[in-house]
Each structure stands twice: as structure tokens, then as C-alpha cells.
Amino acid sequence: MENRAQAAMEFIMTYGWAILAAVIAIGVLAYFNVFTPSKYLSGTAVVSSPFYIEASNVKTNGVTLGIKNNGGQDYEIQSVAITNCGTNSTVMNITADSTLIYFVGCTLTSGSTLKGDITITYRKQGVAVDLTSTGTIAERVAAA
């Protein structure tokens, strides 16, 4: 019985130090932000139907969005609002299956990350009822 206990204790002591060293190494890497995926991945911008963000570009002077109309009919975009940035209320028409480049101006700090909600207010052509498409954006700010 004592041999088993001694073997178990030696196992715990030997591999315990190895596990402790691994935990310390992971802690050091986490402290220096090695596990921050936003450093290595490009940004994302997503909105609900009937639109799709084909491209986004965040610079110190604002956000440019490539908004694709996947709705199968023509719409009138009334405004695009981005939290932590601003709102552009320029009314623009977007035809079915086309892409519209839309700019929302604001002042951002280069190197920071813009995280916010996107709200696209739009109307079906000829109808005076506002509809909304919502989504999110998370992207690193580049120099203008």
C-alpha cells in the first residue's frame, strides 16, 4: 500500500510542477495581450435583412460602409446611425441587388477599436413607413 501512495505522490509532484509552469506561461502570455484576437483579425460589420455589409472602412474621420440590397426590391435609405460615431441622414435610393457606398462622419482615434450598433432606417419606395435594419460593427480605426 505504501508503494502505491509513494508512486502517486511522486506522480503529483513531478507533473504538478510541469502543470504549474504551463499555467504561469499562459498567464504571462495573457498579461501581454497575446490572446487578443482583434490584433490579428480584420473587423466585422453585420446588419439584418434586407441589407448586407459587403465592406467597411473605419478611419479617424468616419466610417464608410458598402451596403448591399438583398431585399429583391428598391428601397430609400433615410439614415444610417452608428453608436459611438454618429448619424448620416442623407436620403439615398438603393436598387435591388446593388451596393451603395454610405459615409457616416465622426472623429475617432487612430489605433483604437470602434465597437457599436448600426441602425439603417429605410423605406420601401412609395411607402411612407420607416423600417429598420440593425446590426453591429467592431473594427480597428485606421489613419485617414
pLDDT digits (tens, 9 = 90+) for 107-120: 999 988 899 999 99
Location of C-alpha cell 453591429: 136
Grid coordinates given for 97: 441587388
Q: How confident is the model at residue 35 (pLDDT cuts 50, 70, 90)?
A: confident
What per-residue confidence (pLDDT) applies to 134?
Answer: 96
Length of the chain measured in residues: 144
Q: Is a pLDDT exceeding 90 seen at residue 15?
A: no
Q: Helix, strand, coil shares of the chain as percentages rounded to 5?
A: 25, 45, 30
**Residue 87 pLDDT level (bands cut at 50, 70, 90):** very high
pLDDT 10s digits, 56-83: 999 999 999 999 999 889 999 999 999 9
Helices (H), the chain: 2-31
Residue 64, amino acid: T
Does residue 28 come out as left (phi exceeding 0), alpha (psi in the -120 to 50 range) or beta?
alpha
CATH architecture of 42-140: Sandwich (2.60)
Q: Is the pLDDT reported for residue 24 higher than 90?
A: yes
> Could you give the CA distance from residue 7 to residue 43 in angstroms, rounded to a whole number?
52
Share of the chain above pLDDT 90, in %: 62
Is residue 144's pLDDT more than 80? no
26 bridge partner residues: none
Determine the average pLDDT of the residues in 81-92: 92
pTM exceeds 0.75 = no
In angstroms and rounded to an integer, the radius of gyration of the C-alpha atoms of the chain is 25
Write down the domain spans for the chain. Answer: 2-35, 42-140
Looking at residue 101, its pLDDT comes to 94
